[in-house]
Structure 1
Amino acid sequence: MTTSIVKSQELAANFDGKSEIKLKDIIKSLPKECFQKNRRKAWTGLVINVLLVALGYASLVFSPWYLLPLAWIFTGTALTGFFVIGHDCGHRSFAKNRWVNDLVGHIMFMPLIYPFHAWRLGHNHHHAHTNKFDEDNAWHPIRPEVYESWAQGWQFSFRQFILRKLWWVGSVGHWAVVHFTLDRYKAKDHGKVKLSIAVVLIFAAIAFPTLIATTGIWGFVKYWFIPWMVYHFWMSTFTYVHHTSPNVPFAEADKWNEAIAQLSGTVHCDYPRWVEFLCHDINVHVPHHISTAIPSYNLRLAHGIIKEKWGTYLHEECRFSWSLMKQITDKCHLYQTDSGYLSFNEYFNSK
């Protein structure tokens, strides 16, 4: 039996609805410094991020064609930092005043065409039901019985998506399907969702025709679409890696424990330092799942304390690499309740 399987079974065993560990116990173990908002750090981070995005666009204007790929990667990654700042705003950890969080969140999300309130409301549901089957709306694996219930065309499409390693466009579909319809939200929230949708549609209605009129179709692709796709590469990758590994357990509602889900169901992955800097340490994800009140600039402090006090419950840390993505996409295809992931080969061989 491999170490990976042993670790998976150990973590899955923690998913016990009768566990005495409570999320509030973990939160209480963290010092107050982890939760303190720092206006200087928050606004300095925002200003630096804006300047870096401006630098990215300047590089797109002046770079020769052979340096454009580097300029696209830099600009798209810096735009991902916009999302992370908006992410803090959505959790009310950027500023003390709610209206400031809402205003900054909308501004940061506008270039990404992300409706702020639509994302915020749905994302909070993910935190309330992390790694719970049929409830977690950010990412959950497909169970064999669900896969078998699909028509052959859907089965084929899903297999091709995974086997051809197309995880990096996954968040584009999530963005398009989830964030622009009202039926996913409570009636009392429809006004806020409509406002956020209107904000990004008005931005697109002004910015896109202006960009095309001044730079042509190629300018639209060069200055918006490709950086936007780089942003979605990171969005897809962060989400996928945060909650996907042969060792990460998922649970039915009656076996799900809130505290254990946040500790054992979230993966800490180290990325190149330039990515972590531009994306405000969103990769330090376990403390964010322990409490969304922790600002992004305090995540590393909280993570060190969580490792010290609750390390036995944590998934082993990993480092981003193409071999890591190959391991995940080669193994994590279907999820069998109580035993973990199956590859398609394992699934078909067992039938």
Structure 2
Amino acid sequence: MEPSYEKESQKQSDIQEAIERKWDIPNFTMKEIREAIPAHCFHRDTFRPFTYLFHDLFIMGTLVYGASYIHTIPSAAIRIALWPLYWFAQGTVAVGLWFIAHECNHLAFSSSKIISHSVGLIVHSALLVPYHSFRITHSQHHKANGHMNKDTSHVPLTRSQRGLPKRELDPVSKDEHHNMFDETPIAMLWHMTFILTFGWALFLLFNLSGQDYSTDKNNKSTWISHFNPYCPLFKEKDFWQVTHSVIGVSVMIGILTWIVIPYLVMDIWIVVVTYLQHVHPEIPHYRGDVWNFQRGAALTIDRSYGLIVNHIQHHSGETHVVHHFFSTIPHYHAVEATKHIKRVLGKYYIFDDTPTITAFHRAWKQCRFVEDEGDVVFFKN
């Protein structure tokens, strides 16, 4: 049966932003992408990932040992200069350790659930991340990346959630800003600093940037958090795993007081890396039938942070696209797998080489909200 004019008109309006932006909705299949990657890239070695774990722990231990001698340096100026360098270095290395634990989430560390979950619980707890809680919601994120109504992280606020008038009644043009105060350097610096410093903790504690459950009739909890086993992030069967995760973090809180600043540096890195992997002014989000897994996975962005940081953080920044397609690929195969996946994705593979600070500022300034309607929606400011 031929579709009616009204349905065709609605279908056209649902992807109107894609048409205006000249965004081609891809039609590649997961089979095509998987076949482009050599089989050995999917192999998980039980011994090899422990070498990376001990590599990170050794560097962190060396930094702690070196920092223990800073107070012996006669020059106060040198001591003052060395502490920030230590904090930055230690926080940067800790992100590599965080990504090792993150691979445990996906069983990319080892095909053994016992090994992966044991290592992940210990390492993530040490970094104040509730392991199983994050593993459960992160799995949901991978299954629905880029979906406006199902994704669990980096979900854009809509026009109505921003408290803005409907598009047809909005006096502000699409090239103008709705709140000029928010665009002042001081206000932007304050908001960016706040998110960089506390954004990761707020995501875990209060589901910041996560899915909105306020209209969920089955939601019996007002505290949407990775630390609340009763909230709609989790199912009833997840209760004890979430509880064990909370216990692990609670134990670690008592140990962390003297290394708070490196921990904050690590948090800042996590916010920057994950934010820039999913937020870009030219990348849309999908709704309805337009979304499928591979289209959503292709809405992620690779970027390089330089030779040293890429090595320390296990190339997580420059291989995030392939990670979203096949999360069980270990990081030590991800660079090679990325080379192959680029051939299949073609123009749909996204790599952004904009300097990090510039890219973060651009995304923060331009990616404020998306429209309440439409199956392909782009960020607006």
Interval containing the TM-score (normalised by the shorter chain): 0.7 to 0.9
The answer on 1:173 being equivalent to 2:202 is yes
Pairing 1:1-351 to 2, within 5 Å after superposition: 9-11=21-23, 13-14=24-25, 19=27, 21-63=28-70, 64-148=79-163, 164-166=191-193, 167-169=195-197, 170-177=199-206, 178-182=225-229, 183=231, 184-205=233-254, 207-208=255-256, 220=257, 223-263=258-298, 265-283=299-317, 284-336=319-371, 337=374, 338=376, 340-343=378-381
Give, in angstroms, the shift of residue 38 of structure 1.
Answer: 2.5
Which secondary structure state, in structure 2, belongs to the residue aligned with residue 334 of structure 1? coil
Give, in angstroms, the shift of residue 281 of structure 1.
Answer: 1.2
Q: Determine the C-alpha separation between the residues in 2 that align with 1:67 and 1:302.
A: 39
Q: Which moved more, 1:89-98 or 1:323-332?
A: 323-332
Give, in angstroms, the shift of residue 109 of structure 1.
Answer: 1.1
Contact 1:335 1:341 in 2 (8 A): yes
Q: Determine the C-alpha separation between the residues in 1 that align with 2:164 and 2:238.
A: 33
Q: Determine the C-alpha separation between the residues in 2 that align with 1:147 and 1:107.
A: 39
Provide the alpha-carbon RMSD of the alignment: 2.5
Give, in angstroms, the shift of residue 316 of structure 1.
Answer: 4.0
Q: Determine the C-alpha separation between the residues in 2 that align with 1:323 and 1:317.
A: 11
- Closer, same or farther in 2 for the Cα pair 1:8/1:186, shift >3 Å? farther
Give, in angstroms, the shift of residue 202 of structure 1.
Answer: 2.2
Q: Deviations over 1:233-271 (max 9, x none)?
A: 1110111100111111101133212112212x1001110
Give, in angstroms, the shift of residue 134 of structure 1.
Answer: 2.4
Q: Determine the C-alpha separation between the residues in 1 that align with 2:189 and 2:108.
A: 35
How many residue pairs match? The answer is 314
Paired AA for residue 83 in structure 1: W
* Structure 2 portions without partners, runs of 5+: 1-16, 71-78, 166-177, 207-224
Give, in angstroms, the shift of residue 40 of structure 1.
Answer: 4.2
Paired AA for residue 75 in structure 1: Q
Q: Deviations over 1:293-324 (max 9, x none)?
A: 10111110011001122222122432443222
Which secondary structure state, in structure 1, belongs to the residue aligned with residue 379 of structure 2? strand
**Percent identical residues:** 22
* Structure 1 portions without partners, runs of 5+: 209-219, 344-351
Q: Determine the C-alpha separation between the residues in 2 that align with 1:328 and 1:187.
A: 37
Contact 1:270 1:320 in 2 (8 A): no
Paired AA for residue 14 in structure 1: I
- Closer, same or farther in 2 for the Cα pair 1:188/1:77, shift >3 Å? same
Contact 1:269 1:320 in 2 (8 A): no
Q: Which has the larger radius of gyration?
A: 2
Residue 214 (structure 2) aligns with: none
Bigger proportion of residues as helix: 1
Q: Determine the C-alpha separation between the residues in 2 that align with 1:6 and 1:163.
A: 33
- Closer, same or farther in 2 for the Cα pair 1:254/1:6, shift >3 Å? closer
Which secondary structure state, in structure 2, belongs to the residue aligned with residue 148 of structure 1? coil
Which secondary structure state, in structure 1, belongs to the residue aligned with residue 151 of structure 2? coil
Contact 1:331 1:341 in 2 (8 A): yes
Q: Determine the C-alpha separation between the residues in 2 that align with 1:8 and 1:268.
A: 25
Q: Which moved more, 1:310-319 or 1:47-56?
A: 310-319
Q: Determine the C-alpha separation between the residues in 1 that align with 2:20 and 2:51.
A: 41
Contact 1:9 1:339 in 2 (8 A): no
